[in-house]
Amino acid sequence: VTSIKEIAKKIGVSPSTVSFVLNGKEKEMRISETRAKEIRKVARQLGYQRNQVAFSLRTGKSKIIALIVDTISGSFFSALARTIEQEAQNLGYRVIYGSTIANLNKDENVIQVLHQYHVDGFLIIPSEGMEKDISFLLAHKKPVVLLDSYFPGVPTSYVMVDNYEGIAKGVEHLINKGYKKIAFVCNDIKMVQMEERKKAFIETLKKRKLPYKKQLLCVTKYNSEKEEITREIETFIKTTKPEAVMFAANYLGVCGLQAIKNLRLKIPAGIAVICFDDLDIFNLFPPGITSLRQPIKEIAKAAFHLLMEEMHSTTKKKKKQVRLKAEIIIRHSS
Amino acid sequence: VTSIKEIAKKIGVSPSTVSFVLNGKEKEMRISETRAKEIRKVARQLGYQRNQVAFSLRTGKSKIIALIVDTISGSFFSALARTIEQEAQNLGYRVIYGSTIANLNKDENVIQVLHQYHVDGFLIIPSEGMEKDISFLLAHKKPVVLLDSYFPGVPTSYVMVDNYEGIAKGVEHLINKGYKKIAFVCNDIKMVQMEERKKAFIETLKKRKLPYKKQLLCVTKYNSEKEEITREIETFIKTTKPEAVMFAANYLGVCGLQAIKNLRLKIPAGIAVICFDDLDIFNLFPPGITSLRQPIKEIAKAAFHLLMEEMHSTTKKKKKQVRLKAEIIIRHSS
DNA sequence: TTGAAAGCGCTAACAG
DNA sequence: CTGTTAGCGCTTTCAA
């Protein structure tokens, strides 16, 4: 654990000189090339690595951004994380991940804690009840960018897929294929992205002159176990008997597939299937499940760069919103 | 951003008094109950939150542990992360995740960087070429526990599944079901866990008097794309024509399923399948894929508690090794 | 061209 | 029972 002081002592210069050189400020400080070279050499020999904690305390910067998610095992998260980490690295940032699900009861939650660690900025996939945390960050002037959703009452930058357009595209596809009795499986989470999807489903039906009835909607509980959700969907399909079903999220699609399997229905002969948000297995699973793919990489990149803008804009704080289109991937389930 | 100093000034006491109270040292410091109460009240009013960076600089502790993985999108990681985060939280630790895949080229890798941030301990799922990083941590007396594998030359604590026993169990199952020509699909990663699996396969065959030939082994490239691996497996099955195939890792199973689908083989009529390391879709995918389930929760817990021991053992540094059994889940693919 | 010194917020030994 | 003070390692202003 070599410190600047040690290097300085070893050479017989002051710590500040060493600091200047090691931070590439030798030019503006007009430190002689000889000195600079010597300092760099000794630093290398001693294996000097800056103490980030001291740096952070002194400067208030940490060169760390946080990626906060509901649960770290989601597929959306996995895909996102990779890209964000890449981008971050290119600009010399580290990203640390936090999940909110573990500490609901505690008053000391991830966001507060990471704030205490002087994290420079936050990328957040918001979930129900997080308004206050977001507001907290906003109040403390921490740069924040939301992904996948947002809170209508809380002015933030965000980037998300165009849910409405995506679902509409999917429903249209089903209708064009000749399906009339189309069901929609969503969850009871009270977030705009889900509301948008539900709304898009209903309105597209109406737009295409198909009757919309409440029975066509299956609202599963978000907090249930997988098995429970599967059972809910199973019952729903058994009683409603739709010709086609659209799942509003990929985990719902997975449960739905299980339900359909349990009911011994054939896809697409017995029931057609389409799912919002693609998954690897949708390609693998026979006969191949049609889906709406979110442009996850683009979402990640856009979000990261928005965050960087917020972090470095000394001027004003214009929040920006970005919406990207989903792509329909037609397989044999529809 | 309230500081201890502010609280102190507001009440008219010294910062140290405040610090003692806020850290629960009021008893041993014999601070009057009146003072203590007042301090706590004001702290709450002002919304005091300890500056972790300053704390860390002063004490050298961060109350953070790092979980280092190859890639953050693996299923093994997802499952692990949840449990570890729970456990950590119970003991007042935060966990931050780092992936090593992003920064192979850089000389400044995750481990070094996190070390600079004074992370208290490391949980690492090692991958090829990480010996030097592990050694670095060991040299700096950082507590380290490895998961899933280990390096023979580097003395560390670790916890992993009993690969040999697991694979043997799987192969025995296949043999008992009457399959004679059994193939094994693994990868070329040079880590003990893979070697153990390969060895177990070969030796179990011999033990049960089945002929082992090189052709029964399909060694895929670890760094290839999914599509490439799928193609390798496809070719392998086409030429070798095994009655049953065992996949040595779950991602190999997924690729293998795709390959089998491409070849239009029926499972298990055309080819029986078994996979090491279970996955949700193995249950869903028709007809249900037999697998060896790793006790991930137990692995996570054991690893975390080993780490805690290492972190708090003031005495000696006895490395401990833990091996847990895999469980066979018999479905209809075998 | 370089060095001295202050200070980020906190803890903890020591002194009252 | 409480306050003073030093110092963790670093950056940066100011002075030389």
Please give, one letter per residue, the 3-state secondary structure of A202-226.
Answer: HHHHHHCCCCCCHHHEEEECCCCCH
Give pLDDT, residue A313: 81
Distance from CA of A263 to the nearest CA of B (A): 13
Higher pLDDT, B265 or B94: B265
pLDDT digits (tens, 9 = 90+) for B167-183: 999 999 999 999 999 99
The answer on pLDDT for A179 being more than 80 is yes
**B258 vs A64, A82, A284: nearest CB:** A284
Cβ partners under 8 Å of residue A73, min gap 6 = B78, B79, B81, B82
The number of angstroms, rounded, from the C-alpha of B59 to the middle of its chain's C-alpha atoms is 29
CA of B169 to C1' of D2 (A): 68
The confidence band for A317, taking pLDDT boundaries of 50, 70 and 90, is: confident
Task: Summarize the confidence of residues B220-229 as an average pLDDT.
Answer: 96
Q: Pull the structure tokens for residue A295.
A: 């442009």
* Residue A22: count of CB within 10 angstroms of its CB: 17
- CA–CA distance, B251 with B73 (Å, rounded to integer): 12
Q: Are A64 and A96 in contact (CB under 8 A)?
A: yes
Higher pLDDT, B232 or A76: B232
* A62 inside 8 A of chain B by CB: yes
**Across the strands, what pairs with B147?**
B159
**Across the strands, what pairs with A144?**
A122
* A89 inside 8 A of chain B by CB: yes
- CA–CA distance, B231 with A294 (Å, rounded to integer): 27
Q: What is the chain B residue with the closest CA to A65? A: B96
Rg for chain B (alpha carbons), in Å? 26
Cβ partners under 8 Å of residue A270, min gap 6 = A260
- For chain B, where are the alpha helices, taking DSSP H only? 4-11, 15-22, 33-45, 52-59, 75-90, 110-116, 131-139, 163-176, 192-207, 226-240, 250-262, 280-284, 296-312
Q: Are B208 and B179 in contact (CB under 8 A)?
A: no
Scanning B98-157 for CB atoms below 8 A from A yields 98-99, 102-103, 106, 110, 112-113, 115-118, 140
Which of A248, A277, A278, A242 lies closest to A260 in space, CA to CA?
Answer: A242
Task: Summarize the confidence of residues B48-76 as an average pLDDT.
Answer: 90
Counting every residue, how long is chain A? Answer: 334
- Decide: residue A283, CB within 10 A, 0-12 exposed, 13-18 middle, 19+ buried: middle
**B117 vs A52, A112, A113: nearest CB:** A52
The confidence band for B89, taking pLDDT boundaries of 50, 70 and 90, is: confident
Give pLDDT, residue A108: 66
Q: Are A326 and A276 in contact (CB under 8 A)?
A: yes
The confidence band for A106, taking pLDDT boundaries of 50, 70 and 90, is: low
Higher pLDDT, A316 or B61: B61
* Residue B261: count of CB within 10 angstroms of its CB: 18
Cβ contact B116–A72 (<8 Å): no
CA of A117 to C1' of C10 (A): 14
Cβ contact B254–A284 (<8 Å): yes
The answer on pLDDT for B254 being more than 70 is yes
Whether residue B287 has a cis bond before it, omega within 30° of 0: yes
3-state secondary structure of B122: strand
Average pLDDT, chain A: 93
- Which residues of A in 166-225 have their CB below 7 Å from strand D's atoms? none
CA of B38 to C1' of C16 (A): 23
The confidence band for B108, taking pLDDT boundaries of 50, 70 and 90, is: low
pLDDT digits (tens, 9 = 90+) for A217-263: 999 999 999 999 999 999 999 999 999 999 999 999 999 999 999 99
Cβ contact B254–A280 (<8 Å): yes
- CA–CA distance, B195 with B186 (Å, rounded to integer): 9
Which of B137, B88, B138, B139 lies closest to B115 in space, CA to CA?
Answer: B137
Cβ contact A96–B99 (<8 Å): no
The answer on pLDDT for B104 being more than 60 is no
Give pLDDT, residue A318: 84
Distance from CA of B207 to the nearest CA of A (A): 36
Residue whose CA lies closest to nucleotide C13 C1':
B16
Angle at A266 between CA A261 and CA A267, to 5 degrees: 100
The backbone torsions φ and ψ at residue B315, rounded to the nearest 5 degrees and listed phi first, read: -75, -100
